[in-house]
Amino acid sequence: MIIEGEILLVDRANVDTDQIIPARYLTGITKSGYGRHLFTGMPGGSELLASKPAATILVARENFGCGSSREHAAWALADHGFRAVIAESFARIFLENAYTNGLVPIALSEADVEALSTCERLRIDVAGQVVEAQGRRIPFDLDPLRKAFVMDGGFMEYLAKKVETVRAWERTTAR
């Protein structure tokens, strides 16, 4: 799985879930329709987002996605078109919500994030676990199970694939 695209730099630490998607917009349980409210809870967020409308990779500082457990934050990012988020660190609950919904969270060192923050475009090889930019190759860690989630598009997609594998096995072994 390759993710290639323009980056949007959110050059701040501790971007919380209410800044990503304010609670007043959490009115549904479907994954779509939240992208239009992305970063409306962050001062200057709407303008920042409008400056790079085609960005598919978000680059941020430490503790991205802190605050309350809000799956809508991952939904809003994905609905807007982001496929990956690179940051120095993530709130644990945001990580789980990202993996579950097929959004690729990549934790890199402060120095690597700083280097990527000046790039216009990045290429991420999820299977190979490497970020490529301006001739540099930066490896990243990704747990094998969560890697499978994001490679399949999210937990439910991963699970559906596994159910079909089990059913196929059952058909071949049925007596």
Range list of H helices, 101-154: 110-116, 144-152
What is the Cα–Cα distance from 51 to 14, expressed in whole angstroms?
A: 21
pLDDT exceeds 80 at position 10: yes
pLDDT exceeds 90 at position 165: no
The residues spanned by each domain of the chain are 2-173
pLDDT of residue 115: 96
Looking at domain 2-173, its CATH superfamily turns out to be Aconitase, domain 4 (3.20.19.10)
pLDDT tens, residue by residue, 55-90? 999 999 999 999 988 899 999 999 999 999 999 999
Residue 144 φ then ψ, to 5° = -55, -40
CB-CB contact of 16 with 133 (8 Å): no
Pairing of strands 121-125, 57-60: unpaired
| More confidently predicted of 133 and 68 | 133
For the entire predicted model, the pTM comes to 0.91
What is the Cα–Cα distance from 37 to 20, expressed in whole angstroms?
A: 8
pLDDT tens, residue by residue, 12-34? 999 999 999 999 988 878 888 89
Q: How confident is the model at residue 175 (pLDDT cuts 50, 70, 90)?
A: low
What is the Cα–Cα distance from 110 to 18, expressed in whole angstroms?
A: 24
SS3 label, residue 41: coil
pLDDT exceeds 80 at position 94: yes
